[in-house]
Amino acid sequence: MDLKLSEDERAFQAEVRAFAREHLPAETRRKVEGGLTLTKDDYVGWQKILHRRGWFPFNWPKEHGGTGWDPIRRFLFEEEIEMAGGPRLAPFGIRMVGPVIMEFGSPAQQARHLPPIVRSDVWWCQGYSEPGAGSDLAGLSTRAVRQGDHYVVTGQKTWTTFAHYADWMFCLARTDPAAKKQEGISFLLIDMKSPGITVRPIIAMEGTHEINDVFLDEVKVPVENRIGEENKGWTYAKFLLGHERIGIARVAFSKKQLSRLKAIAAREQKDGQPLIQDPRFRERIAEVEIDLLALEHSVLRILSEEKAGRPPGPEASFLKMRGTEIQQALTELQMKAVGWYGLPFVPEAMDHGWNEEPIGLDHAAPLAAAYFLARRTSIYGGSNEIQRNIIAKAVLGL
């Protein structure tokens, strides 16, 4: 298998790089580079710029308003956007619920929900995890009772990223409590303005508000908002998770963090010499860089197979697992590089304009925030322990 880029692919890569350099708002880049908190306007504004260029959604087929790019071009596009300092493209619409609606939704659902995602006019959130059902997602207890032409949904979802921004939620709810755990679950699209929905913020360790509790108290959901068949939601959920886990690997993000780590180590001092000259620290950087290079080649190999028509399988679990481990290793090394300067973490330092200090390598507070944020990556999208179980069962037959 040839993993080298063709001339056309290299030209495309250069085109994306030049566009991002010219059109990415400077203020947005500054926030991303400095590890500061982004607003909804930062995400949506950049996505609309890309849409006007015809590059959003970058991962959808042309018949649904996307680019029609093959998997390799999609990978190169994400890498160049990340390396340019662009914010991560919100995955809930374009990478999660959008593909589900395209694959399993009715023509009416596609006509209603896909165009607003293309234009970034609607923000989605994911209603999967519950207080008693996280890694064991099939154990969810949120129930949906059918009453005529609608369901009445009652329950609680948690760790719901950006629910406070969301216009809609794609939600798993139990429609047959007598069925086995993986059965009796339906996939519902819920308008977040519906009566009975309460969003309560969860403030994370780094002081940011990204995640939320969502309470559903007898929320009426039209039956026409159910994706596919009743009690077949687990099938659609697995389809979605396969796409999500490949995205969580975030090779481009880790390459960006690796560059940042090297720059920090080149400036931080140890015994009067740059830290990068310390053999042990340099060796640890090299180990992570080798792991990242191996991950990148694994992603490209899988994308090459996808380009040939083979959908992602259990290898998506491996990519998620290794990608998040590398992200955590990089943030740990960044914290070690700045030493005790990273300890007095001030959450307000994540806010734009705090103390009016320049954001740069000498400003260590955002590094602590990045460290805290990386702790959760091995949990969401299915914990890494669960991914190992999936690999053991699907690949090793255990």
pTM of the model: 0.87
Of the candidates 113, 100, 114, 124, the one whose C-alpha atom is nearest the C-alpha of residue 40 is: 124
Percentage above 90 pLDDT, the chain: 61
368: exposed, middle or buried (Cβ count in 10 Å: 0-12, 13-18, 19+) = buried
Q: Is 356 one of the catalytic residues?
A: no
The pLDDT assigned to 349 comes to 65
Q: Residue 105, Cα to own-chain centre: how many angstroms?
A: 22
pLDDT digits (tens, 9 = 90+) for 263-285: 889 988 888 889 999 999 999 99
Token pair belonging to 23: 């059109």
Q: What is the pLDDT of residues 164-183, one digit of tens each?
A: 999 999 999 999 999 988 89
Q: Which of 79, 82, 206, 244 is catalytic?
A: 244
Could you say which DSSP state residue 57 is in? S
> Is there a contact between 244 and 91 (Cβ–Cβ < 8 Å)?
yes
Let me know if domain 7-89 sits in CATH 1.10.540.10.
yes
CB contact burial 326-341 (16+ within 10 A = b; e otherwise): bbbbbbebbbbbbeee
Tokens standing for residue 104:
């399993």
The pLDDT of 180-193, averaged and rounded, is: 95
Neighbours of 176 (CB within 10 A): 14
Question: Is the model more confident about 207 or about 70?
Answer: 70
* β-pair partners for 215: 156, 198
Q: In the chain, where are the structural domains located? A: 7-89, 124-231, 249-394
User: What is the architecture, at CATH level 2, of domain 249-394?
Assistant: Up-down Bundle (1.20)
Mention every residue, 6+ apart, whose C-beta is less than 8 A from residue 222.
Answer: 149, 150, 151
pLDDT, tens only, 79-113 = 999 999 999 998 899 999 999 999 999 999 999 99
Cis peptide before 57 (omega within 30 of 0): yes
> Tell me, what's the pLDDT at 355?
53
Chain centre distance of CA 3: 25
Report, as an integer, the average pLDDT of 370-381.
83
Separation between Cα atoms, residue 269 and residue 281, nearest integer Å: 12
When pLDDT is averaged across residues 17-28 and rounded to a whole number, the result is 96
CB neighbourhood size of 69 (10 A): 18
Q: Is 343 helix (H, G, I), strand (E, B) or coil?
A: coil
pLDDT at 361 over 80: no
What is the C-alpha separation between 336 and 329, in angstroms, rounded?
11
- CATH architecture classification, 124-231: Beta Barrel (2.40)
Query: Confidence band (pLDDT; 50, 70, 90) for 333?
Result: very high
